[in-house]
Chain A
Amino acid sequence: NAGVTQTPKFQVLKTGQSMTLQCAQDMNHNSMYWYRQDPGMGLRLIYYSASEGTTDKGEVPNGYNVSRLNKREFSLRLESAAPSQTSVYFCASTKGVQETQYFGPGTRLLVL
């Protein structure tokens, strides 16, 4: 039982490059989330998926797209990376609303 896994752990991109961050959970959770964490700003919600087949915007969706591939997997795509997207990205999952969110270990992204 691995919980929430994220790949890659680290990534360096040049401005304009694209990449996809992968997230998978093995807890049979319904809802999944993508957050970014910047110094002094806590966690900000980028996109979430309340259940398989649905996705919705969070606080800071601009420059990102998501895909809920199946119940286990939720990916985050940066189509044209910008230095402002340098951050630590966390994926989380939960059984339902008000339930415990379980977080992955994070992906550290640097955009030059």
Chain B
Amino acid sequence: TQLLEQSPQFLSIQEGENLTVYCNSSSVFSSLQWYRQEPGEGPVLLVTVVTGGEVKKLKRLTFQFGDARKDSSLHITAAQPGDTGLYLCAGTTSGTYKYIFGTGTRLKVLA
């Protein structure tokens, strides 16, 4: 069974601080996606990375795909209360339509 483990599970920080969320697996993925989910809603895609070593930036969010395509990280600079939510990584493997989701990181940014 493929597993995607996220760390930390919970994170509570002050506005303006930086943070990094990790998504790790022993399996190789052909693509890795990051989603954010707010209470009572479905997840919404933030980014997709497909190439080992790839770095993508979305305003204050920086996403990296590991060289071996087994891990990924999400770095948020100067966190804001609007960043509060559940962050989920999801991976796909070659030849399948299945997405494997990580366990999630619940982030709370305090004003």
Contact = CB atoms under 8 A, between A and B. Distances in A.
A binds B: yes
Interface of A: 4, 31, 33, 35, 40-45, 48, 50, 56, 58-59, 90, 92, 97-98, 100-101, 103-106
Contacts of B90: 43, 101
Contacts of A104: 42
Contacts of A4: 42
Contacts of A41: 103
A59 B91 CA distance: 14
A45 B97 contact: no
A90 B86 CA distance: 15
24 contacts: A31-B97, A40-B103, A40-B104, A42-B88, A42-B101, A43-B43, A43-B90, A45-B100, A59-B1, A90-B42, A98-B48, A98-B50, A100-B45, A100-B48, A101-B33, A101-B35, A101-B45, A101-B90, A103-B41, A103-B42, A103-B43, A103-B44, A105-B40, A106-B42
B34 to A, nearest CB: 11
B98 A48 contact: yes
A33 B99 contact: yes
B101 A43 contact: yes
A98 B92 contact: yes
Contacts of B41: 103, 105-106
A98 B4 CA distance: 16
Given A103-B43, A105-B42, A97 B101 contact: no
The 3 closest A-B pairs by CB, nearest first: A103-B42, A43-B101, A50-B97
